Amino acid sequence: MELANFQEKIQALEASEDLIGLGRDASELRQEFEDFMIEAERVEQVKRLEAADQGTSYDEFDYSPVKEAFFDVYKAFQEKRKKQVELKSALENENLKQKKALVERLKDVIENEEKIGTAFNAYKEIHENWKKVGDIPRDKREALQKEYSRLLEIFFYNIKIYKELKDHDYKRNQQLKEALLFKLKQLRTANLPVREAEASLRSLQDEWEEIGPVQNEEWESLKNEYWETVRGVYEKFNEHYEQQRVVLKENIDAKKALIEKLIAVNETLVNVSSAKEWEQKTKDVLGLQEAWKKIGFGSRKENELVYQEFRKHCDVFFQAKKEFSKDIESKFKDVADKKRKLIEEAKALSNSQEWKSTSEKLIQLQKRWKESGNAGHRFENKLWSEFRGACNVFFEAKEAHFKGQDEANASNLTAKNELISEVQNWEVPSDKQAAITALRAFQNKFNELGQVPMKDKNAVYQNFKKAIDDKYAALKLEGQEKENILFKAKLDNLESSPDRARLFQGEKNEIRKQIDTLTKEIMLLENNLGFFAKSKGADALRADVDKKVKHAQERIQQLKQKLKLIPNE
């Protein structure tokens, strides 16, 4: 694509009236433009480097005005689209309020209106208004539509509208509903864009509600088949979005893998000392850039971040290559200047008493020192001596500070060991509630005692945990009471652990895994219901499946309550 075409295309997109559906087009155009710029700038860099190698001059083309013009229009597009999305969201939320109000009004008619004529007129007005109200948020659509359909069903049965219709009307309505079901089933298997399919589903659902009633004996079967088909269509939509998320994540992971490879290349540059080695490294980086172009998009937010990260490390490489061509002594001087700045940072931190954060900062400074390279014989030893001296001032002060805490830690260890002995010798009372209160008091006292020597942390924690666990075991708890009390006791024990943050997170992950397994089990059971024929044997199987689904749902609620009890670390 020519460079001018990018500007024309983004301007055309920005000039469109409906920008909501053009977000992906704009993102793809931006990606193509950025890839084009990478290639163009790379070519300019190569030309400049070749000219430098040949001893000639080369005026590198400045693409900054081109990029600025493109991104000005792109930013305008994004701002206009954001306003349209916000407006659409506001309209959908307002429509949601209106439809909820119509549902409440229909409930009132069903519960309070005794005159059939008045009730029927009210229904007609409600239904006409329902059709006039526009789209509502997609995640609320199915539930609200289902509630509205349920109320309509109650309404028609309550006023006995079916008695006032002729048999051929019932049959005609049944034919219309069966024809609509056929369209719904086709929609489930049709290869349509998701947005188009969602619009078709909404239209068919509105059409379903407009069709009159059918014979009572046919209604349950039709209704169940309808909702099963609608549910299947929604599952298709969800599968599409889930697959899309998987592909986007895979693309992001692939790009991050390239960044890691690029970082690995850059980390070796400190040891590159010949033009031949630089040539090979350049081929490696250009190969990574070509591989980047072949990877598809990721999610909008992550895609931009990983691109900036990739571009940043590309710039690091080519800047390092540019500097390599300079005089080696100039390189040593640059390294020395960097290390002098690190020395100043180390000196500024040397008198700090923020032991943990400053230690981390100094370790990072030491890491940066190693990454800075060698400053040559003229500077390196002297600079290192000065840098090490500044670091030693802090670390010697830190050592002296923590040395004074040893006695306090030893005293805390003695107190915790005494508490463990007290728990071990404690007789469990017959009153379970009193026993649990006492055990929690032991737990709180243990947590309130201060730190112990590092080498004793795990041992004293494990000894206390075993003593507490033994006492809980002696309570002989049963059923849900046992599960709840032991879970709370487990959390108290984890709170006492020196590794509590990791243990709490592990507990959360395990519970979420159980919830996910139960959710998938429910989905599988509900899907299997659609394969049961209507017979006595099938009814028994359906009842058994419903029982299993209910049990799994109750278990999920119990697990969610446990999840709320785990503190955030």
Instruction: Give the DSSP letter of residue 456.
Output: G
Are 6 and 29 a contacting pair, CB within 8 Å? yes
Whether 320 has a pLDDT exceeding 50, the answer reads yes
- Quick: pLDDT tens for 96-141: 888 889 889 888 888 887 777 788 788 888 888 888 888 888 888 8
Phi, psi of 113 (to 5 degrees): -85, 120
As a whole number of angstroms, the distance between CA 332 and CA 339 comes to: 11
* Amino acid found at 110: I
Question: How far is residue 112 CA from its own chain's centroid?
Answer: 47
For residue 10, what pLDDT is reported?
Answer: 82
Tokens at 208, concatenated:
């379903």
The percent of residues in the chain predicted with pLDDT above 90, rounded, is 1
As a whole number of angstroms, the distance between CA 460 and CA 498 comes to: 10
Domain boundaries, given as residue ranges, for the chain: 1-164, 166-322, 326-393
Residue 187 exposed, middle or buried by CB count within 10 Å (0-12, 13-18, 19+): buried
Whether 323 has a pLDDT exceeding 60, the answer reads yes
**CA dihedral in degrees (158, 164, 167, 168; nearest 10)?**
-110
Name 307's Cβ contacts closer than 8 Å, sequence gap at least 6.
31, 34, 255
What number is the average pLDDT over the span 29-55?
86
Are 301 and 264 a contacting pair, CB within 8 Å? no
What number is the average pLDDT over the span 170-199?
81
What number is the average pLDDT over the span 501-519?
81
As a whole number of angstroms, the distance between CA 390 and CA 384 comes to: 10
Is the backbone of residue 479 left (phi > 0), alpha (psi -120 to 50) or beta?
A: left
Measured CA to CA in angstroms, residue 282 lies from 186, 244, 262, 267 at distances of 54, 35, 11, 14
To the nearest 10 degrees (0 to 180), the angle between helices 432-448 and 457-474 is 170
pLDDT band at residue 415 using 50, 70 and 90 as cut-offs: confident
Tokens at 527, concatenated:
């899907």
For residue 165, what pLDDT is reported?
Answer: 47
Measured CA to CA in angstroms, residue 515 lies from 246, 519, 555 at distances of 21, 6, 8
As a whole number of angstroms, the distance between CA 123 and CA 111 comes to: 13
In the three-class reduction of DSSP (H, G, I as helix; E, B as strand; rest coil), residue 533 is classed as coil
- How much of the chain is in helix, strand and coil states, percent to nearest 5? 85, 0, 15
The percent of residues in the chain predicted with pLDDT above 70, rounded, is 88
Q: CB atoms < 10 A from the CB of 83, how many? A: 11
For residue 75, what pLDDT is reported?
Answer: 92
- Quick: pLDDT tens for 526-541: 777 666 555 556 677 7
Identify the CA nearest to 221 among candidates 183, 176, 189, 177. Answer: 177
Instruction: Give the DSSP letter of residue 296.
Output: -
Question: How far is residue 211 CA from its own chain's centroid?
Answer: 42
As a whole number of angstroms, the distance between CA 245 and CA 307 comes to: 18
As a whole number of angstroms, the distance between CA 225 and CA 182 comes to: 11
Name 432's Cβ contacts closer than 8 Å, sequence gap at least 6.
475, 477
As a whole number of angstroms, the distance between CA 266 and CA 310 comes to: 12
As a whole number of angstroms, the distance between CA 317 and CA 322 comes to: 9
pTM of the model: 0.29
Are 151 and 104 a contacting pair, CB within 8 Å? no
What number is the average pLDDT over the span 514-529?
79
As a whole number of angstroms, the distance between CA 480 and CA 472 comes to: 15
Radius of gyration of the chain (CA): 35
As a whole number of angstroms, the distance between CA 255 and CA 35 comes to: 14
